[in-house]
Amino acid sequence: MSLRENFSEAGGIVKLAFVVVITSLCCSWLAFTTTSWLVVKQTHYGLWRVCAETVSGCSHIDGTANVEYGVTQAFAIIGFMCQNLAFFLIVRFIFKENCRGNTDIGMGSAALLIVSAIGWLIAVAVFGDEFDATGAKLHYSYGLAVVASGLGLIGGVLMIIGGSNGSVGSK
3-state secondary structure at position 97: helix
Report whether pLDDT(33) > 90.
Answer: yes
State pTM to two decimals.
0.87
Sheet-wide strand order for 38-40: 58-60, 49-52, 43-45, 38-40, 137-138
Q: Computed from CA positions of residues 61, 65, 66, 70, in that sequence, does the dihedral angle turn out positive or negative?
A: positive
Q: What is the pLDDT of residue 170?
A: 41
Q: How confident is the model over 2-13, as a mean pLDDT?
A: 72
Q: What is the pLDDT of residue 15?
A: 87
pLDDT digits (tens, 9 = 90+) for 40-98: 888 888 999 988 887 777 888 877 778 888 899 999 999 999 999 999 999 888 888 78
Fold classified for 17-163: Butyryl-CoA Dehydrogenase, subunit A; domain 3 (1.20.140)
